[in-house]
Amino acid sequence: MGGEPPPAEGTNIEGESPEVEPTVETDDATITDDAELERTLGLSGGLAIGIGTMIGAGIFVFPGLAAGQAGPAAAASFAIGAVVALLVALPTSELATAMPKSGGGYYFISRALGTLAGAVVGLSLWFGLVFATAFYLVGFGYYAVDTLAELGVTVGDRLVIPIALLFGAGFTVLNVTGTENAAKLQNGIVALLLSILIVFLGYGSLDAVGLIGESAAPEQFAPFGAMPILTTAALVFTSYLGFAQVATVAGEMKDPGRNLPLAMVGSVLAVGVLYVVTIFVATSAFGSEALAGFGETAMVEVGRHYLGAAGAFAIVFGGLLATMSSANASILSTSRAIYAVSRDALLPKRASRINLRYGTPHVALGLAGGPILVLTATGRVELLAEVASFLHLIMYGLICVALIALRRDEPEWYDPEFRVPGYPIVPALGAIASFAMIGFMQPTSQLVGVGIMLTTAGWYVYYARDVNLRGAL
């Protein structure tokens, strides 16, 4: 297991310094000042975290939108997203075994590329997760309205946003009362969700190829050409945002040099296959134009096509669970992103204050929940998803650059248990692919993303320019 970068130093304009948390690595545990994390997670545990984090709103909200833009070739868009995620997963695995810290990508980049890059990524990740959570909540609102319709209560789309806001506030309060409650909810939802998807996609695939019914009439694979495949890949990349979460448990994983990269790569492959099969099943049930007309809840009609009213109810229930699961997990991650940059003195230390009753970062959760509700009120599904992807792709690209910087100078403390095969080609391709995908987004999403990054850089210059987080290279 790797060593540890030299301690951060300097102060922000309030005279606060980064908190130093020395870490001791053994074969059985990772020991810090605050906790002793036993190595209890194996490969199956790592796969469960990766799959559970990624399986969520995207698979239920995107099929109609993606098919409308790229036709059946939307399956290729999801496959492109999986390839980009795989190229970033391997460098992330190496860095996580060298620096098993809870800050994940933010920690790697700040220690390898310096405080400015770290501040921009850390603070942008806060906003990236805020946009992602708002996207999940709006999707939840659509599925909630469809659930009521299936039960015979037609309220129309006017209640989508009020429902999304109500549950957004509720999830924030749930996370304040304890992560244990939130984690139990999360595990239960993911298990039920996977069961529904495997049964539905298995039946739908057999029906689509004609083994238990009539085979679907083939539609032109890419009716709108190649460019929409790439722009759709940029839109749906939000579906893969969770894969790097596996890296945050590197300190709790047995044999991390083997299990961590296998868990990250395996979970991306498993989820990528599920997404591609979902698009195949959906576009086999209806033409792309009809599917696009169903909007954010097109999968409900796909369920009805294959399995009648029971199928529609199963999908609408699954969509509710998926969007709920993604929103809940994302609120938790947002608060932890704020907590990490606050401990490094890039935000006021009071943002990382812990609630004495529940042991949760209640101020950070408030800083997450407020902006999430404001963005949810806009109801702009595609804009919310793309800006979230933009800010995460910047981080993923810089993770690859951070790996190249560390390998180039190889400081004494850098001793990862896993090393990326095919270096430097794999991290270089990961960086290029991540940054290139941003070029296929809508101009509005690009402007919002750039505006957020410039604002975070300005905040660093004003508030924390004397803080130094970079490890010696």
If you write DSSP's letter for every residue of 121-159 in order, what string do you get? HHHHHHHHHHHHHHHHHHHHHHHHHHHHHHTT----GGG
Tokens representing 315? 């999908």
Tokens representing 74? 């939307």
- H/E stretch holding 50 reads helix 43-54
For residues 182 and 209, give the distance between their C-alpha atoms in angstroms, rounded to a whole number. Answer: 40
Residue 397 belongs to some domain of the structure: yes
Residue 17 belongs to some domain of the structure: no
Q: What's this model's pTM, rounded to 2 decimal places?
A: 0.87
Residue 32 belongs to some domain of the structure: no
Residue 472 belongs to some domain of the structure: no
Residue 366 belongs to some domain of the structure: yes
How does pLDDT run along the chain (473 residues), one tens digit per residue?
Answer: 455 666 677 888 888 888 766 666 666 655 555 555 566 677 887 787 788 778 777 888 899 999 999 999 999 999 999 999 999 999 999 998 888 776 678 889 998 998 999 999 999 988 998 999 999 999 999 999 988 888 888 887 889 999 999 999 998 888 787 655 555 666 677 788 888 888 889 988 888 877 776 666 667 888 888 999 999 999 999 889 877 777 766 666 788 888 888 988 998 999 999 999 999 999 988 888 898 999 888 999 999 988 899 889 888 888 888 888 788 778 877 877 888 888 889 999 888 787 777 777 788 888 888 999 999 999 999 999 999 999 999 999 999 999 999 999 888 888 898 999 999 999 999 999 999 999 999 999 999 999 999 999 999 999 999 988 866 45
Pairing of strands 24-25, 29-31: antiparallel
Domain that holds residue 424: 45-229+257-464
Number of domains observed in the structure of the chain: 1
Residue 340 belongs to some domain of the structure: yes
Q: What is the model's pLDDT at position 246?
A: 77
- 3-state helix, strand, coil split of the chain in percent (to 5) is 70, 5, 25
Residue 252 belongs to some domain of the structure: no
For residues 53 and 194, give the distance between their C-alpha atoms in angstroms, rounded to a whole number. Answer: 12
Dihedral sign for Cα 133, 168, 103, 59, please: negative
For residues 241 and 169, give the distance between their C-alpha atoms in angstroms, rounded to a whole number. Answer: 22
Cα→Cα distances 282→72, 126, 303, 348, 385, Å: 9, 33, 9, 48, 21
Residue 422 belongs to some domain of the structure: yes
The domain that holds 167 is classified in CATH as: 1.20.1740.10
